[in-house]
Amino acid sequence: MMRKSIKGRAAPEDLPAALHRLETLCRERGQRLTRQRRAVVRQLLAADRALSAYELLERLRPEDGRATAASIYRTLDFLMELGVVHRLESKRSFILCRHPQAPHRVQFLICRSCGEVIEAEDARLAAATERLGDRLGFALDQRIVELTGLCGRCRTREAGPS
Amino acid sequence: MMRKSIKGRAAPEDLPAALHRLETLCRERGQRLTRQRRAVVRQLLAADRALSAYELLERLRPEDGRATAASIYRTLDFLMELGVVHRLESKRSFILCRHPQAPHRVQFLICRSCGEVIEAEDARLAAATERLGDRLGFALDQRIVELTGLCGRCRTREAGPS
DNA sequence: GGCGGAATTGATACAAAGTATCATCAGGTG
DNA sequence: CACCTGATGATACTTTGTATCAATTCCGCC
Ligand SMILES: [Zn+2]
Ligand SMILES: [Zn+2]
Ligand SMILES: [Zn+2]
Ligand SMILES: [Zn+2]
């Protein structure tokens, strides 16, 4: 069965797919796949939005009452290293990666009204950032692009009800 | 006397110029120009790098022992509103704007070794972000572009001494 | 299935970043 | 120079993130 895909945006993986991807990545790199790592992925997928580390912590409590901030941050660092989780710097929060493929240059669009986050992968924008880095003599190792505004739905809603 | 300008990057204003600009902006908008606002601009200019709110607070202490975190944040919000100060989301710090002109779309290049920050204004990159926003139906009101890596100098230094 | 040991997590304490509230003060106007 | 509004001071607090060291767990191996 085909998942719905709005405007060509990457559809969310389901849980088995996400966990399987995680397992593969861990195995490839000889890293351990622990309960907490699985649980964090599960919660981020279930939330279907960006969560702060402490929001995540609350959601983990029912199934793991002993989780702490420190361990959540460690787990998130680990998952970011694997490329399975991204951090939204401007919102101090974390979101599941929507592009299962290998390393990628993404840009985030964040709706300030409904909080929706789209993970885009725009080649032209990516190329432009690389050119800028080159032009100024930088060897880039991180590209943060976070665009904030109103998403289509929220735009019509705000204009709509007179 | 001409200020040095490296690689065509905008040269820093001197203090009188920066304060004059600030005064003009305040007057235009009917906002007050207070001692603290002046002092924050002065310190950011003197530092010639990005400062966290608390670093700024320390540097203000000698001349204003009663400044508090709350007032620093208020002042920084004000100066960002005016467009005189920018915030580096990925470093949780603040830096003086290098483009005295009206509203502008900037990108930051940040050296992770020496901490240098370049405020760039790349038209192609800016255009690409707008196109992406349009394509995904977003009405953007903020564009955060922060590219991190090694600056030219630090690159040669790291490769250099065998 | 149980062992061993490095990797991971737990517990605790703490540092850093940011905000809310209300009383007091000062910048610009007339 | 008095007024009033907007800005700051004082205080307390929330949120976010880290350091340290002891206890536990994962996983390959037997
Ligand atoms: Zn991704
Ligand atoms: Zn929205
Ligand atoms: Zn600027
Ligand atoms: Zn450098």
Mean pLDDT of B14-20: 84
Tokens 């005295």 -> residue: B100
- Residues with Cβ within 8 Å of residue B162, at least 6 apart in sequence: none
Q: Which of A24-28, A106-110, B38-42, B121-125 has the lowest mean pLDDT?
A: A24-28
Res B124: pLDDT? 97
Count of domains observed in chain A: 2
**What is the three-class DSSP state of A17?**
helix
Res B104: pLDDT? 87
pLDDT exceeds cutoff 50 at A2: no
Q: Are residues A92 and A114 in the same domain?
A: no
Q: Are residues A13 and A84 in the same domain?
A: yes
Shortest alpha-carbon distance between residue B106 and chain A (Å): 12
- A54-65 pLDDT per residue, tens: 999 999 999 999
**What average pLDDT does the structure give for chain A?**
90
User: How far apart (Å, rounded) are the C-alpha atoms in residues B26 and B36?
Assistant: 14
Q: Are residues B30 and B85 in the same domain?
A: yes
pLDDT exceeds cutoff 80 at B33: yes
Confidence of residue B101 (pLDDT cuts 50, 70, 90): confident
Identify the residue among A132, A134, A151 best suited for mutation to test binding to B, counting B beta carbons within 10 A and taking the highest: A132
- A85-129 pLDDT per residue, tens: 999 999 999 999 998 777 789 999 999 999 999 999 999 999 999
Tokens 């208020």 -> residue: B74
**What is the b/e burial string over B88-100, where b = at least 16 CB atoms within 10 angstroms of the residue's CB?**
bbbbebbbbbbeb
- Cα A46 to chain centroid distance, Å, stands at 13
φ, ψ dihedrals at B113, nearest 5°: -95, -55
Contact (CB<8Å) B150/A139: yes
Q: B27 or B89: which carries more pLDDT confidence?
A: B89
Closest CA to B11 of B99, B107, B103: B99
Res B18: pLDDT? 84
Res B4: pLDDT? 43
Residue B120, amino acid:
A
% pLDDT > 90, chain A = 73
Q: Are residues A92 and A125 in the same domain?
A: no
Q: Are residues B92 and B133 in the same domain?
A: no
Assess if residue B35 is contained within a domain.
yes
Ordered DSSP codes for chain B = -PPP-GGGPPPPP-HHHHHHHHHHHHHHHT----HHHHHHHHHHHHHTS-B-HHHHHHHHTTT-TT--HHHHHHHHHHHHHHTSEEEEGGGTEEEE-S--SSS---EEEEETTT--EEEE--HHHHHHHHHHHHHTT-EEEEEEEEEEEE-HHHHHHHHS--
Q: Are residues B41 and B119 in the same domain?
A: no
Q: Are residues B146 and B67 in the same domain?
A: no
Tokens of B70: 């709350």
- The residue range of the domain holding A128 is 107-159
Mean pLDDT of B77-98: 96
A69: CB within 7 A of chain D nucleic strand: yes
Q: Among B41, B73, B96, give the residue marking a domain's end.
A: B96
Confidence of residue A7 (pLDDT cuts 50, 70, 90): very low
Contact (CB<8Å) A146/B89: yes
Assess if residue A68 is contained within a domain.
yes
The number of residues making up chain B comes to 162
Q: B52 or A13: which carries more pLDDT confidence?
A: B52
Q: Are residues B82 and B18 in the same domain?
A: yes
Domain harbouring B130, CATH code: 3.30.1490.190
Q: Are residues B10 and B37 in the same domain?
A: yes
Helix spans in chain A (H): 15-29, 35-47, 53-60, 69-82, 123-135, 152-159
Res B5: pLDDT? 42
Shortest alpha-carbon distance between residue B64 and chain A (Å): 30
Strand D: list positions under 7 Å from protein Cβ: 6-12, 15-20, 25-27
Assess if residue A129 is contained within a domain.
yes
Assess if residue A92 is contained within a domain.
yes
